[in-house]
Amino acid sequence: MRKRATHQDGGADVNITPLLDIVFILLIFFIVTATFLREEGIDVNTPQDSEDEPDSRPPPALLLAIQEDGFVRVNNLRVIDPGSVTPTVQEFIAREPRGVVLVSAAPESESGVAVEVMDQAADGCRRACPVTLALQEE
Residue 116 neighbours by CB under 8 Å, 6+ apart: 82, 83, 85
pTM: 0.57
Q: Using 50, 70 and 90 to split pLDDT, how confident is the model at 12?
A: confident
- The CA dihedral of 113, 115, 118, 123, to the nearest 10 degrees, is -100
Select the more confidently predicted residue: 113 or 7. 113
Q: Where are the domains of the chain?
A: 61-135
Tens of pLDDT, residues 105-115: 888 888 889 88
Q: What pLDDT does residue 24 have? A: 94
- The CA dihedral of 12, 17, 21, 27, to the nearest 10 degrees, is 80
- The CA dihedral of 72, 134, 60, 97, to the nearest 10 degrees, is -80
- Cα 62 to Cα 39: distance, rounded to the nearest angstrom: 38
Provide the mean pLDDT of the chain: 82
pLDDT surpasses 80 at 53:
no
Under CATH, what is the fold of the domain 61-135? Answer: Nucleotidyltransferase; domain 5 (3.30.420)
